[in-house]
């Protein structure tokens, strides 16, 4: 086991879905603050390139292949981070998909995918780190939900259901925890690759039109950095970050 140490304020932060968008921006932002980051995603070439970039800029970053829908893969990701850094302070459950469509289109495989990535993936992340955090007597789980976790719109029924569920799980975990902090991050419209997964061309066009007011992913990374940076006895329970122009 090789353990990389750093300054006392430097935390070990695992980020799922760090190959693009909010996850990538969060990794870069946290590393720039001196945190030691560990990036996971399926597109391993992209996470390797982001980690290399971070290290070239003087940061500390590792990476490991991760499919959040596979419990074994999540376990291997967390073990690799612990082997490298010796502990785990923060898990950012960020990986997500959003193939929006009307229910009547019966894109049942896409419903399953959203449940598997957006909900089951978050639960697998919690299951993989919670025993370690309890053992340490400290830790922080940051779950990326959405404003769609507060409201439901046509085409977003299943996506909203997964994000409502993420907020429910987070609140339950918060109430059960006295040593592990829990934060829900609730983004509004953010520029990323998320709309690429919409297979209904009409819905995709409409959503891409709405994205004209989207804010950069770095705005969400900034909010996550704030929550991570608070002292152990301060729990930032939820933050909503959305475009000023978003209704």
Stretch that binds ligand NDP, among 37-45, 76-84, 103-111, 224-232 (CB under 6 A): 37-45
The one segment of 11-19, 75-83, 100-108, 127-135 that binds ligand NDP by CB under 6 A: 11-19
Q: At its nearest, how many Å lie between ligand NDP and the CB of residue 190?
A: 4
SS3 label, residue 51: helix
The H or E element that residue 201 is part of is helix 201-210
Near ligand NDP by CB under 6 A: residue from 10, 69, 160, 170: 69
Q: What angle do CA 92, 30, 133 make, to 5 degrees?
A: 40
What are the Cα distances from residue 185, in Å, to 21, 63, 87?
Answer: 14, 23, 23
Kindly state the DSSP code that residue 112 receives in the 8-state scheme. Answer: H
| Structure tokens given for 29 | 């932002």
Segment interacting with ligand NDP, rule: CB under 6 A, options 54-62, 84-92, 185-193, 231-239:
185-193
Among 3, 4, 5, 43, binds ligand NDP (CB under 6 A): 43
Q: Tokens in use for 143?
A: 């779950």
Q: How far apart are CA 78 and CA 128, in angstroms?
A: 7
Q: Is the dihedral of CA 172, 222, 120, 148 positive or negative?
A: positive
Q: Which of 62, 125, 187, 221 binds ligand NDP (CB under 6 A)?
A: 187
- Work out which of 11, 92, 94, 125 binds ligand NDP, going by CB under 6 A: 94
125 binds ligand NDP (CB under 6 A): no
Write the CA distances from 104 to 100, 108, 133, 154, 155, integer angstroms. 12, 10, 43, 11, 9
Report 145-184 residues binding ligand NDP (CB under 6 A): 146
Contact status: 14 vs ligand NDP (CB under 6 A): no
4 vs 196 by CB, closer to ligand NDP: 196
Question: What is the binding site for ligand NDP (CB under 6 A)?
Answer: 16-23, 41-43, 66-69, 94-98, 117, 144, 146, 187, 189-190, 192-194, 217
């Amino acid at each position: 086991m090789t353990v990389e140490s750093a300054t006392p304020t430097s935390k070990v932060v695992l980020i799922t879905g760090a190959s693009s968008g909010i996850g990538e921006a969060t990794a870069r932002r946290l590393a720039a603050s001196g945190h030691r980051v560990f990036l996971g995603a399926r597109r391993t070439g992209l996470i390797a390139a982001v980690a290399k970039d971070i290290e070239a800029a003087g940061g500390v970053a590792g990476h490991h292949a991760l499919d959040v829908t596979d419990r074994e893969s999540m376990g291997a990701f967390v073990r690799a981070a612990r082997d490298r850094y010796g502990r785990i302070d923060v898990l950012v459950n960020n990986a997500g998909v959003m193939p929006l469509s009307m229910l009547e289109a019966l894109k049942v495989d896409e419903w399953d995918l959203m449940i598997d990535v957006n909900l089951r993936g978050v639960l697998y992340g919690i299951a993989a780190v919670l025993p370690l955090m309890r053992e340490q007597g400290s830790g922080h789980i940051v779950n990326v939900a959405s404003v769609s976790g507060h409201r439901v719109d046509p085409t977003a029924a299943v996506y909203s259901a997964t994000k409502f569920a993420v907020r429910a799980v987070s609140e339950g975990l918060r109430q059960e925890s006295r040593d592990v902090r829990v934060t829900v991050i609730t983004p509004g419209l953010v520029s990323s690759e998320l709309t690429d997964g919409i297979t209904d061309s009409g819905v995709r066009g409409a959503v891409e039109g709405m994205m004209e007011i989207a804010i950069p992913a770095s705005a969400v990374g900034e909010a996550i950095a704030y929550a991570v940076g608070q002292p152990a006895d301060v729990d930032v329970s939820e933050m909503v970050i959305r475009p000023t122009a978003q209704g």
